[in-house]
Each structure stands twice: as C-alpha cells, then as structure tokens.
Amino acid sequence: MTTPASDELYLGLISGTSADGIDAALVRFQASTTCLRCELVHGRTFAWDPALRTQLVALGQGADNVSLDALGSLDGRTASAFAEAALALLEEAAIPRGRVRALGSHGQTIRHRPHANPPFTWQLGDGNVIAERSGIDTVADFRRRDVAAGGHGAPLMPAFHAALLGSPHEDRAVLNLGGIGNFTLLPVAGDVRGFDTGPANALMDAWCERHTGQPYDAGGALAASGRMDAALLARLLAEPWFALAPPKSTGREQFHLNWLDARLGDATLSPADVQATLLELTARTVADALQMTQPDTRRVLVCGGGVHNAALMARLAAHLPQAVVESTTAHGLDPDYVEAMGFAWLARETLAGRPGNLPAVTGAAGRRVLGTVFPA
C-alpha cells in the first residue's frame, strides 16, 4: 500500500464496556484538507486472553477485593495486549511501524465515577508499556483531563462524529451500541450534544453468557425466542439514572448482573424472556432519550456491536418510526471500527495541540487538549 506524502497514518485502539475484544483501526487522514477526511486502511478485533478478560469484567462490574499488586499487574498486562494488537494489525496491513505517526489508546475502563467526590474515571492500559512494546508514539488516558475540568470524560466521540456524519439538510443522531449505548446529536442548527443512554450490549452479553455459555446473543436469536416481560421492564425502567438530564454517562459498574438480579427478585422467567426484556430496555431507553432531546431527528446512524443484532435494530426502528435507522456503513464508515477510528483522530488532535472534548457534551468547564503523550 502506498500513502501520499501529505497523508498521515494513525492507529486507534479501544476495548469497550463489554470487554469483548480490542478493536484496532489503522486510519489514513488527508492532511492537506481543511475538512476532516479519513479512511479505514485496516481494522480488526483481537480477542482478549480469557483469564485476563474474566478479571477485567469482574473489576468493571464492581469487584473491589483486588490488591494493589494485582491492579498493577493488570495495568501492565492490559497494556501489553493493546501493544500486541497494534503490532499484529500493522503486520496484517504490511505497514512498518515507522510509518505510523502515533497511536491513540482508550484503554479498558474499570471504574467511571463522574458523580463521586472527587469525581474520577479509570482506564487500565499503561501508555508507557504500549509505547515501549509497540515502538510507536502513544497517546493515552484521554478521559481524565475532561473530568478534572468538571466534565464526565464521556462521551468523547461527538466531535469526530460531527466532522464525518453531520448534514446541513436534516437533523441526525449517531447511536453507538457498545456495552453502553450513547448518542451524538447532530442538528442542522445548534450545538452538537451527546450522552449515554444506558445499557446496550453489556447486560445482554452478560446474561447470555451466564445462561448459554456464549459471549453474546448472535443476531438477537435468544431474545427473539423469548417474550418481553412488562413487569420486569417497568422495574428496570424505574432506575433513577434514566431520568437524569444530560450531560450523563455510566458504565458496567452501574448496570451489571447484580443490578439485574436485584430487580428480577423471585420472578420465574425463562432466560429467553429476560433477554427479550433486556433488549426492549435498550430500545426503549434509546428511543425515549432521543424523543426527549432531539424529536425531529430524521436519520439515526448506528455503529458498535449492537448493529449486528437484527432483533435490536428492528425494535429501534419500531420505536423511532419518524427516522431512518441504518448502519454507518451506508455513509462509508465500518460500524465495528468507528470508535477505534475516533481514538486515532483524538491522538492526532492531541499532537496538534487541539482540544478533543465538547463541553456541551461532557459538561466540562471548557475545551481541553486530552490525553498524555508517551514517546516511543
């Protein structure tokens, strides 16, 4: 592959709330244009070592009986996995590491507490280790500067979404269906906004794995074989977090299996019926959030793993009849790698000294340059 001299290659890495794999994206940015243009050169999702993933998921769901030594080890092992993913991606793409200007790594979130005193967010994956193992300048720890400025540190993709997917002709929304669902609102007129909507794949994946041994409900088949339970859905929707106004963010430490079990109580529902109810919870909370914040939306562009859940996409379309609900594929972006591409873009913005957050989205006191640079 040849890259024009005026173009730049960046690499983005992220493991989302579900910890279902490391998404890696090699991205070419056209440096000579004033508007943002980028191309996915190569993308792949790399599986976690099962034992490491088990530990990361347990931490993300609120486990707190972990020693400092164990946390330090996890930080280094997570970083090594990210570095190995970066190098494997470059080998597959036949691109030498020296051609990559920088690597942007989100890390693996184990705690997100924007309402704590003091607030904090914590992602494992030491940037020092990634830079040393990969031999590529690394930008990591993107969220904490925004939190330090009074923001939620999330979501961080709206500026990237706005640059690539906004339209002067219709109000749009970008919906990321990762472990947690989140929206970027792209109105024809007015500020870009964004916020989390609640659980998406994290709860459905965890429930599916508990009852079938499979890491996710492929195509939504388990949910489609069950019946939504209205009483359980009502108990789930009664969670006070859903009534909060944006800016808002959440994570697996809030919406996890213990949270679900407490609301199931003594109910005797089949695993399929619970899965169908969890799917409906995701669809309802997404639709309710959009109706409350941007009811004139005409197009919802979906990315993240949930785009492959046909049952979920059908329920979203049913709840949002006024809008076209479609994959970002229709607009030239592979839905599986939009977020990884976004962290490649954030690394580029950091090295250029440009802010990566939007205060109207995160609630921060102002725009800030995000991340810490770890030279190779």
> DSSP assignment of 157-199, as one string?
-HHHHHHHH--SSS-EEEEEESSEEEEEEE-SSS--EEEEEEE
Beta bridge partners of 185: 173, 193
What is the model's pLDDT at position 346?
97
Every domain of the chain and the residues it spans:
7-153+340-374, 158-331
Could you tell me the mean pLDDT of each successive run of 10 residues in the chain, 376 residues long? 66 89 95 73 96 89 83 97 98 98 96 94 97 98 98 95 94 96 96 96 95 95 98 98 95 92 93 98 98 97 97 98 97 95 97 96 97 98
Contact 137, 131 (CB under 8 A): yes
Q: Which CATH homologous superfamily contains domain 158-331? A: ATPase, nucleotide binding domain (3.30.420.40)
Give me 361's structure tokens.
């989205």
Beta bridge partners of 112: 121
Distance of CA 342 to the CA centre of its chain: 10
What is the model's pLDDT at position 289?
97
What is the model's pLDDT at position 59?
86
Which CATH number, 3.40.50.300, 3.30.420.40, 3.40.50.150, 3.40.50.720, labels domain 7-153+340-374?
Answer: 3.30.420.40
In whole angstroms, what is the distance from residue 304 CA to residue 334 CA?
9
Contact 195, 175 (CB under 8 A): no
What is the model's pLDDT at position 31?
63
In whole angstroms, what is the distance from residue 208 CA to residue 220 CA?
10
- Other Cβ atoms less than 10 A from the Cβ of 203: the count is 26
Instruction: Rounding to the nearest 10 degrees, give the CA dihedral for residues 23, 68, 58, 261.
Output: -140
- Rounded (to 5) percent helix, strand, coil in the chain: 45, 20, 35
In whole angstroms, what is the distance from residue 172 CA to residue 185 CA?
6
Predicted TM-score (pTM) of the model is: 0.92
Give me 178's structure tokens.
């990762």
Give me 259's structure tokens.
């949270």
Decide whether 7-153+340-374 matches 158-331 in CATH topology. yes
Name the H helices within the chain: 50-60, 68-93, 127-134, 143-148, 158-165, 201-212, 221-224, 230-237, 257-264, 271-293, 310-319, 338-351, 359-362
Run of H or E residues at 41: strand 38-46
Distance of CA 82 to the CA centre of its chain: 16
What is the model's pLDDT at position 24?
98
Q: Is there a cis peptide before residue 295, judged by omega within 30 degrees of 0?
A: no
Contact 347, 86 (CB under 8 A): no
